[in-house]
Amino acid sequence: MKKNIAVLPGDGIGPEIMEQGIKVCKAVAQKFHHEFEFQQGWVGAEAIDRTGNPFPDETFELCKQSDAVLFGAIGDPKYDNDPDAKVRPEQGLLAMRKKLGLYANVRPVTTFPSLRGKAPIRPELLDGVDFVVLRELTGGIYFGKPQGRSEDGLTAYDTSMYHRYEVERIVRLACRYAMQRDKRVTVVDKANVLATSRLWRSVAVDIAKEFPEITMDFMFVDNAAMQLIQWPKKFDVIVTENMFGDILTDEASVITGSLGLLPSASIGQYTSVFEPIHGSYPQAKGKNIANPLGTILSVAMMFDYAFQLQDEAEAIRKAVLKSLEENFVTEDLTTDNPKTTSEVGDWIAERILE
């Protein structure tokens, strides 16, 4: 199989972890006789420095022409500490999501037996956790207009907005996922307060009628935040709006033992984007210490979802499991002889080739 892959390393540790992702793709290509062509594009702070635009048109075109996009991370502290900055790297990520129509962000959360005890939650609560969060990615308060400041600068406002069709398509996707799993969908909202959430509920009830085998329940987001930590095993598929999904998936990452482990797929109209859920981790930039497994598992999701190459995806996941079992991992996961980012990448690539 021949595929074009757009590679957008982005900021902070993005380039270092992306290098490991590409190593893994190359190992898969060699082992399974595929041909992958990688083309790099600028995004984020790096793109602002070069072009003034955090998601330049050339990058957009590159993504559209590719069979899949691998994305690293975005964000730079020089912008975080400057609330008056006219352009911000994060706008590049949001522009990418909007322009590529990446409406569904799929974030699976599972525990790894070999990491038992690494999470700050009692291990017996976590054994066998296996759920997936579908986060709506192109609507809600991230994109609603108006957004801004009053003229006197004393008030600021954001708008959360959803159209019926935006809710329909993500809830339908959640039900399809659930049909392949335990057939349970939890819709997370704040319907006791927010009008958008009440729209979500009524649309979800309608969509559920298309899937008579599915059990759907509803949970307020504050309660969901609590239950996710207290009884994470009871969830199967969670579907929620953009900002709730952002917050809950960072919370959920604690369950696995490290934020550096969680992969994600963003399903789009033109192409799909695969990225770890963690950020640009600027403190670690250039130090070769960041955990590349979230990126490598995102590569596995690319093989699964974008290329329908399940054996290849499985080979990657097996190698990752092995690195966890043998404690061949970065310093976020072990104090006992931690390995560097590139050592972990090399090791995984070698296991795939074996």
Q: Measuring CA to CA, how many Å separate 14 from each of 55, 70, 118, 193, 252?
A: 15, 11, 25, 38, 22
The CA distance from 209 to 133, in Å, is 21
Q: Could you confirm whether 11 is annotated as catalytic?
A: no
* CA-to-CA separations, 217 to 130, 238, 268, in angstroms, rounded: 18, 10, 26
Candidates 250, 270, 305, 346; catalytic one: 250
**Shortest Å, Cβ 277 to ligand IPM:** 6
Which partner from the list Mg ion, ligand IPM, none does 25 bind, CB cut-off 5 to 8 Å by kind? none
Q: Which is nearer to ligand IPM, 112 or 143 (CB)?
A: 143
Q: Which two tokens stand for residue 237?
A: 């598929």
Of 300, 312, 280, the closest CA to residue 68 belongs to: 300
**Which position among 9, 12, 56, 75 is part of the footprint of ligand IPM (CB under 6 A)?**
75
Decide: 139 and 166 in contact? Cβ < 8 Å.
yes
CB closer to Mg ion, 282 vs 338: 282
Q: Considering CB under 6 A, how many residues would be counted as binding ligand IPM?
A: 7
246 a catalytic residue: yes
Kindly write out the interface string for residues 264-293 of this chain, putting x where it contacts ligand IPM by CB under 6 A and - elsewhere: -------------x-x--------------
Torsional class of 315: left (φ above 0), alpha (ψ -120 to 50), beta (otherwise): alpha
Nearer residue to Mg ion within complex by CB, 20 or 242: 242
Q: Decide the pairing of beta strands 2-10 and 35-40.
A: parallel
CA distance 192 to 221: 10
SS (H, E, C) 1-12: CEEEEEEEEECC
Question: Measured from the CB of residue 108, what is the shortest distance to Mg ion in angstroms?
Answer: 15
166's contact among Mg ion, ligand IPM, none, with CB below 5 to 8 A by partner kind, is none
Cβ pair 125, 230 in contact under 8 A: yes
Nearer to ligand IPM, 62 or 93 (CB): 93
93 is a contact residue toward ligand IPM (CB under 6 A): yes
- 222 in catalytic set: yes
Which among Mg ion, ligand IPM, none contacts residue 293 (Cβ within 5 to 8 A by kind)? none
Shortest distance in whole angstroms from residue 189 CB to ligand IPM: 18
250 catalytic residue (yes or no): yes
Which residues of this protein are in contact with Mg ion, per CB under 5 A?
Answer: 246
Residue 72 contacts residue 17 (beta carbons within 8 Å): yes
Pick one of ligand IPM, Mg ion, none as the site partner of residue 136 (Cβ within 5 to 8 A by kind): none
Residue number with the smallest Cβ distance to Mg ion: 246
